[in-house]
């Protein structure tokens, strides 16, 4: 299928949804437009709201806060995941001893930690960063663990025969292998970093996209809620696209 054709179809879906939404919230085709726009807002109002946010520039600060929280959560969580993933994979005893605890910690729904983190780290960015870390850490941890465990024995033997010591094996074999697993889980882990930031903001904060949505909900401003959701969607899409670009650069050696 041609790329432009596909794109046209994709845009068509958005147009159809927007038109239906508009018809439902401003004409009597699907019922009372007043009721419908109370529950679902209307696309023009949402568009205007988003337009005002960007024109007045008030949105940038919230976007920046959410981005910063997600970024910090991702970097810290990923580093922790890499270090612990390596450690566990190289020391089977450690892995065996901590196995039930790791599983238990990962089984816990992270939302319940949000109030605790707010208590510990306050309402600023760090309680959101902490929440994001608990999500990112486990994804990266499991991927690195797997990556180190599944290094090809032949590649390892070859490294040894080429004269590598343990440190060189770490640098030339284990680390690249583990990182390739981390990169291939980039979409998931970055996505979770954003989730951590937004959920944290939603549950108590003074800035960020989650805060924006929560504030609008607090006063039954459905238009504001929808506008916040659309900005969030666009934000996640852009981040995801960036990850695709990064992934393509870093995993260029993979089979096409």
Residue 81: C-alpha distances to residues 12, 100, 135 (Å)? 41, 17, 10
Q: Judged by CB, which is closer to another protein: 155, or 238?
A: 155
Q: C-beta of 245: minimal distance to another protein in Å?
A: 19
Q: Which of 75, 79, 128, 84 is nearest to 106 (CA)?
A: 84
Give min distance, CB of 68 to another protein, in A. Answer: 31
CB of 256 to another protein, least distance (A): 7
Toward another protein, which CB reaches closer, 155 or 234? 155
Query: Of 58 and 157, which CB lies nearer to another protein in the complex structure?
Result: 157
Q: How far apart are CA 213 and CA 192, in angstroms?
A: 18
Smallest separation, CB 175 to another protein (Å): 10
Positions that interact with another protein (CB under 8 A): 152, 154-155, 157-164, 168, 172-173, 176-177, 180, 252-256
Residue 221 CB, nearest approach to another protein (Å): 50
- Least distance from C-beta 182 to another protein, angstroms? 13
Q: In terms of CB distance, is 176 or 218 closer to another protein?
A: 176
Q: For another protein, which is the closer residue by CB, 28 or 254?
A: 254
Length of the chain: 256
Burial class (CB in 10 A: 0-12, 13-18, 19+), 188: middle
Of 25 and 177, which has the nearer Cβ to another protein?
Answer: 177
């Amino acid at each position: 299928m041609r790329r432009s054709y596909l794109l046209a179809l994709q845009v068509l879906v958005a147009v159809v949804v927007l038109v239906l939404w508009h018809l439902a919230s401003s004409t009597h085709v699907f019922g009372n437009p007043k009721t419908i726009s109370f529950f679902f807002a209307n696309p023009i109002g949402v568009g205007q709201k988003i337009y005002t946010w960007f024109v007045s520039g008030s949105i940038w600060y919230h976007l920046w806060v959410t981005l910063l929280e997600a970024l910090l959560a991702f970097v810290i969580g990923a580093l922790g995941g890499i270090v612990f993933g390596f450690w566990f994979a190289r020391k089977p005893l450690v892995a065996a001893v901590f196995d039930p605890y790791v599983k238990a910690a990962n089984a816990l729904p992270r939302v319940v930690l949000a109030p605790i983190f707010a208590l510990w780290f306050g309402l600023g960015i760090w309680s959101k960063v902490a929440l994001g870390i608990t999500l990112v850490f486990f994804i990266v941890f499991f991927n690195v663990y797997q990556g180190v465990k599944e290094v090809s024995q032949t590649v390892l033997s070859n490294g040894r025969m080429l004269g590598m010591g343990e440190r060189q094996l770490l640098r030339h074999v284990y680390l690249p292998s583990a990182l390739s697993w981390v990169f291939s889980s980039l979409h998931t882990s970055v996505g979770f970093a954003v989730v951590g930031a937004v959920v944290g903001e939603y549950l108590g904060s003074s800035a960020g996209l989650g805060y924006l949505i929560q504030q609008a909900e607090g006063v039954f401003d459905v238009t504001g809620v929808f506008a916040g959701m659309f900005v969030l969607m666009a934000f996640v899409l852009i981040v995801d696209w960036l990850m695709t670009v990064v992934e393509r650069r870093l995993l260029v050696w993979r089979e096409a």
